[in-house]
Structure 1
Amino acid sequence: MTPRTTRGSRPSRRRFLATAAASAAAVLIMSACSTGGTESAKTSGAETRTVTDIAGKVEVPAKPQRIVSVDFYSPATLVDLGIKPIGVVEGFDDPDPNLRPKRYHEALKKTATIGTYYELNIEAVAKQDPDMIFAETRFLQKGELERLQGIAPVVQLDASGVGAWEDRTLMIAAAVGKAEEGKQQQATFRKRADELKAKYADVLANNTIAVFAHGQDMSTWGTYPTGHFYVPAWDAVGAKFRPFTAGEHKGEPGTVSEWLSLEQIGKLSNADILIHSYGLQDFVTSLSKNTVWKNLPAVKNGFVFENTPAAVVSSFDWGTESLNQLDGVLAKIDAKVGS
């Protein structure tokens, strides 16, 4: 589920973004729960606990030993909590720094795989004999949730909307009996975010940004709004995102804009600062021949910058690392503003 870059190491990035655009209903479910990943004091026996996920209450092992993650997010959170899942989706063997920080690759590169988050191999999940499964259910095909529940208790997750990834991360921590550790990691993340908010208050308050990428064949472009899975670090520091223009967005919160032709790239004129996805310098260079691009205010003023790598934050520790990298990006912007 890597955002659009020039790398081809992850499957079907376009397919993910199309699926992500259909997640508004899941946002409502998450909002209705608003549990923050709390553990229930009620236990149903010495060997199980009752925790809350986006669907309600689920009974899980008190001390799970064999966890399979059929989602993209939970493996990193589990690693941060000192737990190694026995099954993960494909891709953790890829060392590309734009996919995830190196430590998650190192921890999980030899872990058994169970297909992709959007195309599971249920038999591979069963083969691992898990006692708990994490799943972001908006990506499951019809009947797959029931099949997974026939194998082991399933903790259902979602990450749609501004800050929802934090609820999801706390939910994962609570499900494995490490709610307090999760909250401590969240506190570290938020403290770092607050530091950057204060450090770059003027830049963040007085400029709108557009985080943009190209489409699958570099003939289209789109931007990521607040709440999108690609911009949690920017959301955390309170960045102001450019408003979408007419015909640019379907209106679902947190979803990427319509993929528009390069002829319409002038729509980016309402952004003071342009942030292109990590690894897209070749695309930006190719735009130098585009007259409309060259006349964008941000381009004329030299306010085009590269985003941090591995921007799809999957845990608090990952998020803190992203904020540390964002500090460098904001420092460049700040220096440019002051020059």
Structure 2
Amino acid sequence: MGVTRVCRFPVLAAALVAVLALAGCGAPAEPDGGPAPGAEGDGRFPVTVPHAFGETTVPAEPQRVVALGLNDLAVAQTVGAPIVGAMQNMTATGPVLPYLEPLPPEVLALDPNAELSVEQVAAFEPDLILGVSAYQVVDRATYDRLSAVAPTVVFAESLYGASMQEDARQVGRALGAEEQVEELIAAADARVAAVREELPGLAGRTYLFGQARGEILPMVVGEQNQSTAFMRALGLTVPPSFADAPASDDLAPGTVGLSYEEVGRLSEADLLLMTFAGDGDRSAFESNELVQRVRAVQEGTYVPLTLDQAVALQAPNVVSAGWLVDQLRPSLEKVAAGGT
């Protein structure tokens, strides 16, 4: 399948800016606490997983897994993988993803604000390193250093360049948990489809997802960005004038930047989802006279996202999708009904 590199721009909070920097399903399954998927002798191992830097062979059932990406953690934890090390979720809600059961502090020991320490990863003594959604492993040199520690599996072609379903499958292949991951995918797809069926008024409606960052308003509009694909599955599309817009010179592909003088263009969207780069950006945005005239603001379909919501929408996964649609449900219902 064709893929486009997801746009990334510094957005959310210092820790996750580099990962998700706001560019561009089913309810989470409860971890069962059971053994790692792929019991010994069941023929699932060894398994070889192709990826952007070649291929990795996982020789046996993983017993000590390190998850470098938040989506790696979500999928691996939900299928019961034995996680010994993982990246913290540095948001207002603390180190734990809001849709997962808490892990011990000694497991959530990797700081997304700090440069990735291969030595710290090695201290977990992993036999598998997952980096499918890891923004720290986008170059061959880092991958090679990690591979010297343990078999390392990354994204198939580019970071966030595949659908959330395909990223989940990549994790499932490495864990020998392909059947379990397919169940997660089916549940996630069913959950999104149910919302679309329950809210038929979403069909044909438009949305914009962006950020207030100083004097610029980057908007995520690329057709194959994971957030765009997620919203499209609900029946929503970006406004036509944004759909084919070229990227701004200083932004990543799939992202266009508006100035405050152009903020009237936001009225083309039935639903406006915004996040904010730093202190003062939200108040500057919401107090702007032109913003106050935007249709979604006046109709009650403007949503200032929390950091957790923005991260989940920026790069949804098959575990977070159910939580995310629940978070967005009130605004989706308003849009489906035609506003306030």
TM over 0.5: yes
SS at match of 2:15: coil
Give the structure 1 partner of residue 35 of structure 2: none
SS at match of 1:275: strand
Say whether 1:235 aligns with 2:229.
no
Give the structure 1 partner of residue 324 of structure 2: 322
Q: Distance in 2 between matches of 1:281 and 1:204?
A: 35
Q: Distance in 2 between matches of 1:94 and 1:236?
A: 27
Query: Cα deviations across residues 25-80 of structure 1 (Å, max 9, x unaligned)?
Result: xxxxxxxxxxxxxxxxxx9x996222343445421032100111223320111111
Show the 5 A alignment for 1:86-97.
Answer: 86-89=84-87, 91-92=88-89, 96=93
Give the structure 2 partner of residue 160 of structure 1: 160
Give the structure 2 partner of residue 293 of structure 1: 291
1:273 and 1:19, CA in 2 relative to 1: closer, same or farther beyond 3 A?
closer
1:51 and 1:335, CA in 2 relative to 1: closer, same or farther beyond 3 A?
same
- Aligned AA (1:130): P
Give the structure 2 partner of residue 334 of structure 1: 336
Which structure has the higher relative contact order (CA within 8 Å, separation 6+)? 2
Give the structure 1 partner of residue 174 of structure 2: 175
Q: Distance in 1 between matches of 2:272 and 2:109?
A: 37
- TM-score, structure 1 as length reference: 0.74
Give the structure 1 partner of residue 262 of structure 2: 264
- TM-score, structure 2 as length reference: 0.73
Query: Cα deviations across residues 279-328 of structure 1 (Å, max 9, x unaligned)?
Result: 99985554454332233333344432345724345532221221233333
SS at match of 1:113: coil
SS at match of 1:332: helix
Say whether 1:100 aligns with 2:97.
yes
In the comparison of the two structures, how many residue pairs are matched?
305
Give the structure 2 partner of residue 150 of structure 1: 148
CA RMSD of aligned residues (A): 3.8
Show the 5 A alignment for 1:193-204.
Answer: 193-204=192-203
Contact 2:135 2:159 in 1 (8 A): no
Match of residue 74, structure 2, among 60, 63, 76: 76
SS at match of 1:329: helix
Match of residue 130, structure 1, among 126, 130, 134: 126
- Aligned AA (1:111): V
1:55 and 1:118, CA in 2 relative to 1: closer, same or farther beyond 3 A?
farther
Identity of aligned residues (%): 21
Q: Distance in 2 between matches of 1:275 and 1:204?
A: 18
Q: Distance in 2 between matches of 1:332 and 1:279?
A: 26
- Aligned AA (2:123): K
Q: Distance in 2 between matches of 1:73 and 1:330?
A: 24
Contact 1:170 1:182 in 2 (8 A): yes
Gaps of 5+ in 2: 1-7, 25-40
1:98 and 1:289, CA in 2 relative to 1: closer, same or farther beyond 3 A?
farther
Gaps of 5+ in 1: 22-42
Contact 1:92 1:109 in 2 (8 A): no
Say whether 1:221 aligns with 2:220.
no
Q: Distance in 2 between matches of 1:236 and 1:174?
A: 25
Show the 5 A alignment for 1:26-65.
Answer: 48-65=46-63
- Aligned AA (2:217): W
Match of residue 11, structure 1, among 2, 11, 15: 15
The worse-fitting range, judged by mean Cα deviation, of 109-118 and 219-228 is 109-118
1:47 and 1:247, CA in 2 relative to 1: closer, same or farther beyond 3 A?
closer
SS at match of 2:97: coil
